[in-house]
Amino acid sequence: MFKNTSKQINFIPGLRLPLFDGGRLNANLASTRATSNILMERYNQSVLNAVRNVAINGTHLQTLNDQRAIQAQRVDATRYTQASAEAALKQGPGSRLQATEARLPVLSEQVSLLMLDTLRIIQSIQLIKSPGGGYQAAKTEQD
C-alpha cells in the first residue's frame, strides 16, 4: 500500500582524517622496521659466510697447488732414477729387473700427481660455488 517511491543518491566525497590512526601507523612502522632489520641481518650473515667460504676454499686450493708442484718434482726425480737404470741396462752392468723396478716409483708418483690434479679440480669447483656461483655439472646420458 505505501510504497517508497523516492530514492536518494549521494555523491559527496568522503573525507577521512587519520586522527586516531597514529598508534596503528606507528605499530605498522615498527613492525616493518623489525622485518627490514631481520632481512638485513640475514643478508649480512650470508655475505659473511660467502666471504669466509671463499677464503677457506682459496686457501685449500693454494695448498693443493703447492703440493702439486712438490709432487711434480718427485715425478721428475723418479724419472731421472728410471732413466739412470735404463742407461745402465743398455751399457751392460744393469739388469732388466732393476730397470723394471725403477719404473714402479715413477708410476706411483704419477698416480699421486693425478690424484692431486683431481683434488685441485674439485677444489676449484668448490671455490666457484662458495660465493653462490651457479656451477652445474654437464648432464650425462645416464641423467
SS percent in the chain: helix, strand, coil, step 5: 75, 0, 25
pTM for the model: 0.64
Q: How far apart are CA 21 and CA 35, in angstroms?
A: 21
Q: Are 53 and 130 in contact (CB under 8 A)?
A: yes
**Model pLDDT for residues 96-121, shown as the tens digit of each residue:** 888 888 899 999 999 999 999 999 99
Distances (CA, A) of 66 to 6, 33, 108: 97, 49, 19
The dihedral through the CA atoms of 108, 113, 118, 120 has a sign that is positive
Report pLDDT digits (tens) over 36-72: 999 999 999 988 998 999 999 999 999 999 999 999 9
Confidence band, pLDDT 50/70/90 cuts, at residue 76: very high
Per-residue pLDDT at 17: 63
Q: Where are the domains of the chain?
A: 30-129
